[in-house]
C-alpha cells in the first residue's frame, strides 16, 4: 500500500477555488476505513480523524473521548495511518484532530510524525479544552493543571509554520478569538454544540435558526480578525441535510463540518433496519408443512 500524499498549498488551492465558485466545502469525520472511503466517494473535501470518531464508531458518544480511557494522540495516529489513509484514494485530504495539551508529547516532534506519515492537516479538537464549560469546576481544575486553550493556539500556529494545513475549532467566542488572533488558521470551525439525534446525541433544545444565528456572529468576528479564513459550521441543531442547507442559506460561511450526521446516525439507522428485516423473517407456511 502506497498512501497518496498532498500538501497544504495544493489543498488551499482546491478549497479557495471552491470558495470563489460558491461551491460549499464539506468536512466529515470518520472512525473507520469503511466510513472514510464512503465519505471520499460521496465527494467530501476533508476526512477528519480523532479519538471521538473512533469511539463513536464503537457506539459511544463523541464526548467519551473527554474521559481518560485512551491516549488520544496515539489513538489518532494509529487509527489514521492503519485504518483511514489506506482506505482512501487521495481525492479528499486527511485532517488529524489532536490533543495539544498532551503533557507527554512535544508538539513539534508529533506534528513532524504526522507529516512523515502522509497527514497534511491538523485540528485542535482531539480533545479541546474549549469543550468544557468555563463556569464549571472541571474547567477550573483543568485550567489550574495547565490544560489551556493557549497550548492549542500554539500548536495550530506551529503546524502552519511547519507546512501543515491548520483547522481551528472553538465552542465559544472567547476561545474563537484566541485561536483566530493567535494562530490565524487556514480554516476555522465554530462548533455550536454536540449534534442532536440518534442513540447518543444530546439535544440542547436549540433550533436550527438559533444555531445559524450564533454561528453567524462567530463568522463576523472571524472575518474582522482574519479576513482570509475559510469558515465552516458544525453541531447543535445541524443534524440533517436540510439543516445544513439552512446553515448555508442563512450564514456567510463557506461550508459545513459533519460528524455524527454522516457517520453515527446513518450507521445506526441502516444497520438497525437491515438487521431488523432479517430478525423478523419467519418460516413460510409451505416450509412449515413440508417439515
- Comparing C-alpha atoms, which of 189, 72, 208, 77 is closest to residue 130? 189
Identify whether the C-beta of residue 120 lies closer than 8 Å to the C-beta of residue 147: no
Exposure class string for 118-131: b at 16+ Cβ within 10 A, else e: bbbbbbbbbbbbbb
CATH number at 21-277: 3.20.20.70
Sign of CA dihedral 11, 15, 122, 32: negative
pTM metric for this prediction: 0.89
**pLDDT reported for residue 77:** 94
Give CA angle at 173 (261, 151), nearest 5°: 90
Place of cell 453515527: 264
Side-chain-side CA neighbours of 76 within 13 Å: the count stands at: 32
**Digitized pLDDT (tens) for each residue of the chain, 291 residues in all:** 788 899 999 999 999 999 999 999 999 999 889 999 999 999 999 999 987 776 666 666 565 556 666 688 998 999 999 999 999 999 999 999 999 999 899 999 999 999 999 999 999 988 888 888 899 998 899 889 899 999 999 999 999 999 999 999 999 999 999 999 999 999 999 998 765 444 444 455 789 999 999 999 999 999 999 999 999 999 878 989 999 999 999 999 999 999 888 888 888 889 999 999 999 999 987 666 665
**pLDDT reported for residue 118:** 95
Identify whether the C-beta of residue 93 lies closer than 8 Å to the C-beta of residue 40: no
**pLDDT reported for residue 235:** 82
**pLDDT reported for residue 39:** 96
**pLDDT reported for residue 218:** 97
- Return d(Cα 164, Cα 124) in angstroms, integer: 13
Amino acid at each position: 500500500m502506497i498512501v497518496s500524499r498532498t500538501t497544504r498549498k495544493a489543498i488551499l488551492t482546491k478549497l479557495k477555488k471552491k470558495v470563489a465558485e460558491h461551491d460549499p466545502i464539506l468536512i466529515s469525520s470518520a472512525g473507520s476505513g469503511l466510513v472514510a472511503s464512503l465519505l471520499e466517494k460521496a465527494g467530501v473535501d476533508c476526512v477528519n480523524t480523532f479519538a471521538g470518531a473512533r469511539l463513536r464508531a464503537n457506539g459511544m458518544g463523541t464526548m467519551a473521548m473527554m474521559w481518560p480511557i485512551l491516549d488520544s494522540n496515539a489513538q489518532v495516529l494509529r487509527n489514521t495511518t492503519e485504518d483511514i489513509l489506506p482506505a482512501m484514494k487521495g481525492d479528499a485530504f486527511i485532517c488529524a484532530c489532536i490533543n495539544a495539551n498532551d503533557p507527554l508529547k512535544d508538539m513539534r516532534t508529533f506534528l513532524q510524525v504526522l507529516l512523515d506519515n502522509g497527514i497534511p492537516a491538523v485540528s485542535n479538537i482531539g480533545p479541546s479544552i474549549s469543550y468544557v464549560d468555563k463556569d464549571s469546576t472541571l474547567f477550573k481544575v483543568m485550567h489550574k493543571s495547565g490544560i489551556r486553550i493557549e497550548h492549542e493556539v500554539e500548536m495550530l500556529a506551529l503546524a502552519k509554520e511547519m507546512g501543515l494545513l491548520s483547522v481551528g475549532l472553538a465552542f465559544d467566542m472567547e476561545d474563537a478569538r484566541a485561536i483566530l488572533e493567535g494562530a490565524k488558521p487556514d480554516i476555522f470551525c465554530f462548533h455550536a454544540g454536540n449534534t442532536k439525534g440518534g442513540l447518543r446525541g444530546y439535544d440542547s433544545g436549540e433550533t436550527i435558526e438559533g444555531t445559524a444565528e450564533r454561528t453567524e456572529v462567530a463568522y463576523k468576528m472571524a472575518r474582522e480578525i482574519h479576513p482570509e479564513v475559510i469558515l465552516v459550521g458544525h453541531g447543535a441543531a445541524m443534524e440533517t441535510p436540510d439543516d445544513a442547507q439552512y446553515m448555508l442559506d442563512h450564514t456567510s460561511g463557506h461550508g459545513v463540518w459533519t460528524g455524527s450526521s454522516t457517520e453515527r446516525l446513518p450507521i445506526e439507522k441502516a444497520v438497525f433496519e437491515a438487521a431488523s428485516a432479517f430478525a423478523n423473517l419467519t418460516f413460510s407456511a409451505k416450509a412449515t408443512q413440508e417439515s
